Amino acid sequence: MKVTDIIKRKGLELGFSHIGITTAEPFIEYAQELLRRPDYAIWADPDRSKYPGRTYLTETATPKNYYPQGTSIICATLGYSQYLYPEELTRHVARAYLCRSYVPQPNDLAGIRVAEYKRFIKSLGIGMYEGECDLPQRAACARAGIITYGKNNFAYTKEDGSFNILFTFLVDTVLDYDEPTVRCDCPESCHKCIDACPSQAIAAPGRLLPRNCAMNNHQLPLGAFPDDLWDKFSTSIHGCDICQLACPRNAAVLKRASRKDPFLETLKDEFDLEKVLFLDEDYYETAIRPIMYNYIRDMDLFRRNAAIAMGNSGNSAYITPLEKALTVYKDKPELLKPIVWALGRLRGEEKSN
Ligand code: B12
Ligand code: SF4
Ligand code: SF4
């Protein structure tokens, strides 16, 4: 068997849904697009000192910046559409995180799959970039022929719609390349995702405004989540699925979902916004880390997001814990602001009932 076929076959054996391969040539249109978008400055501004610690997507658009011998990109999708995600959890956390593959860790299943795939590829005598490098994964997967775009920005496959996580492996060997599928397969007249977004974050087809998108705000430091957006994301504390759920390209996929995930079935009875508001190490380890080990490391951000979600819940039972939080967090003024806001909303609603 040819080495390209061996690599593809192993990827499928390990549970990836699609494997495609493209060159490591620069993603020129992608880089130009980033620089055209002023609201992407935190990922694109050529002056790195302004946003220390950020991944610079304009640099990763040229993979050889990171790995001069990089020749090919092995691209993979991992579909997560097969599960029936419990409503008790999807109210608060997007499916992309509930599926527990978003940021693979060395000691979780997704991480073990990725590590084994890398080990296997390297065992074929192929060199691989091992450092941190956020390649433009949607653009790479489209060039590798395994996804098409949706106007909501998402990467779609036939089997999983937009419910797939993307992976890319930069290697030093020339392989056989797949026919690109760099196109949008949405019906011309459809704009359901654009209309459904609660914060008008999709300005035009394929044009996201990160400032307005849920996940971008959920991960911002205390004081940086703009208060004009606090009432937009309902009871969500980590991401949002609204523009995917509204999409007709996902309708059949959502209908097919039939499997219960036993871990999520356990977690759904334990998940509690009040516990997130008073988050401690134990609850973080058992209920938060497994599904939200992504961008947020500061526990106060989870507490802030829980306070905002409570304020949007319409549930007056949260008034008592929020009042307690006023005392517990009296020395954290930036955390008190959303708590006071949430209390104001819930008390106002209680009066008008
Ligand atoms: C920065 C980032 C964010 C930012 C900005 C998002 C964005 N759309 O740019 C924020 C924090 C807001 C974010 C949010 C989310 N993210 Co994010 N994010 C990334 C990251 C690290 C880079 C994205 C990027 O390069 N953006 C810059 C823009 C210019 O690039 P782009 O969106 O890929 O679009 C380019 C092309 O793909 C193409 N294109 C894209 N859409 C369309 C549509 C049309 C019509 C056409 C013609 C072309 C086209 O044109 C663009 C220019 O070349 C990637 C991982 C990675 N390394 O690639 C994950 C990634 C995009 N995120 C992902 C996910 C799951 C999310 C969330 C869904 C999580 C959630 N449920 O809350 C949201 C969804 C928001 C949305 N509607 O897109 C997944 C998406 C998987 C998928 N099936 O598409 C990725 C690929 C991570 C992964 N490993 O799977 N994210
Ligand atoms: S993920 Fe949510 S906030 Fe972001 S664009 Fe989609 S609907 Fe809007
Ligand atoms: S809702 Fe319509 S326009 Fe948006 S991604 Fe789905 S098919 Fe495309």
Looking at the structure, tell me whether residues 16 and 92 fall in a common domain: yes
Show the CA angle centred on residue 153, arms to residues 137 and 177, nearest 5°. Answer: 35
Q: How many domains does the chain have?
A: 2
Does ligand 3 have an atom closer than 6 angstroms to the CB of 248?
Answer: yes
Looking at the structure, tell me whether residues 167 and 278 fall in a common domain: no
Residue 187 CA, closest ligand 3 atom number: 7
Residue 250 CA, closest ligand 3 atom number: 6
Mutate to test the pocket of ligand 1, among 89, 138, 170, 292 (most ligand atoms within 8 A of CB): 138
User: Ligand 2: distance of its center to the CA of 285 in Å?
Assistant: 27
Residue 180 lies in a domain: no
* Cβ–Cβ under 8 Å, residues 131 and 169: no
Query: How many CB atoms within 10 Å of residue 189?
Result: 5
pLDDT digits (tens, 9 = 90+) for 189-236: 999 999 999 999 999 999 999 999 999 999 999 999 999 999 999 999
Looking at the structure, tell me whether residues 141 and 280 fall in a common domain: no
Average pLDDT over residues 62-72: 93
Ligand nearest to the CA of residue 98, numbered in listed order: 1
Residue 18 lies in a domain: yes
pLDDT band at 179 (very low <50, low <70, confident <90, very high): very high
User: Ligand 3: distance of its center to the CA of 84 in Å?
Assistant: 22
How far does Cα 344 stand from its chain's mean position?
A: 31
Q: Which residues contact 335 (CB under 8 A, 6 or more apart)?
A: 222, 300, 303, 304, 307, 329
Which of the 8 DSSP states describes residue 285? Answer: I
DSSP 3-state of 111: helix
Here the tokens at position 82 are 């097969």
Which pLDDT does position 152 carry in this prediction?
97
DSSP 3-state of 190: coil
Nearest residue (CA) to ligand 3, atom 6: 247
With 70 as the cut, is the pLDDT of residue 51 above it? no
Looking at the structure, tell me whether residues 206 and 62 fall in a common domain: no
Ligand nearest to the CA of residue 202, numbered in listed order: 2
Looking at the structure, tell me whether residues 133 and 79 fall in a common domain: yes
At residue 168, what are phi and psi to the nearest 5 degrees?
-140, 140
Residue 72 lies in a domain: yes
Average pLDDT over residues 152-164: 97
Looking at the structure, tell me whether residues 229 and 159 fall in a common domain: no
Does ligand 3 have an atom closer than 6 angstroms to the CB of 250?
Answer: no
Looking at the structure, tell me whether residues 98 and 210 fall in a common domain: no
Nearest residue (CA) to ligand 3, atom 7: 186
Tell me which of 123, 154, 171 is where a domain ends.
Answer: 171
Which pLDDT does position 46 carry in this prediction?
66
DSSP 3-state of 108: coil
Looking at the structure, tell me whether residues 90 and 206 fall in a common domain: no
Residue 247 lies in a domain: no
Residue 250 lies in a domain: no
Tell me which of 152, 171, 190 is where a domain ends.
Answer: 171
Nearest residue (CA) to ligand 1, atom 54: 137
Residue 241 lies in a domain: no
Does ligand 2 have an atom closer than 6 angstroms to the CB of 96?
Answer: no
Ligand 1 pocket, Cβ-based, cut-off 6 angstroms? 29-30, 33-34, 43, 57, 94, 96, 134-139, 149, 151-155, 162, 164-166, 184, 205-206, 208, 210, 213-216, 239-241, 243
Residue 63 lies in a domain: yes
Which pLDDT does position 38 carry in this prediction?
77
Rounded distance, CA 118 to CA 104, Å?
13
Looking at the structure, tell me whether residues 164 and 204 fall in a common domain: no
Looking at the structure, tell me whether residues 302 and 343 fall in a common domain: yes
Looking at the structure, tell me whether residues 128 and 276 fall in a common domain: no
Looking at the structure, tell me whether residues 140 and 211 fall in a common domain: no
User: Ligand 3: distance of its center to the CA of 94 in Å?
Assistant: 18
Does ligand 2 have an atom closer than 6 angstroms to the CB of 199?
Answer: yes
How far is residue 229 from each of residues 36, 199, 200, 239, 322, measured CA to CA in Å?
A: 24, 7, 11, 14, 20
pLDDT digits (tens, 9 = 90+) for 290-299: 999 877 889 9
Ligand nearest to the CA of residue 161, numbered in listed order: 1
Here the tokens at position 313 are 């819940």
Residue 158 lies in a domain: yes
- Comparing CA positions, the residue from 131, 128, 136, 173 lying closest to residue 27 is 136
Here the tokens at position 308 are 């905002």
**What proportion of the chain, given as a percentage, has pLDDT over 90?**
84
- Residue 206's domain comprises 199-233+272-352
At residue 130, what are phi and psi to the nearest 5 degrees?
-110, -10
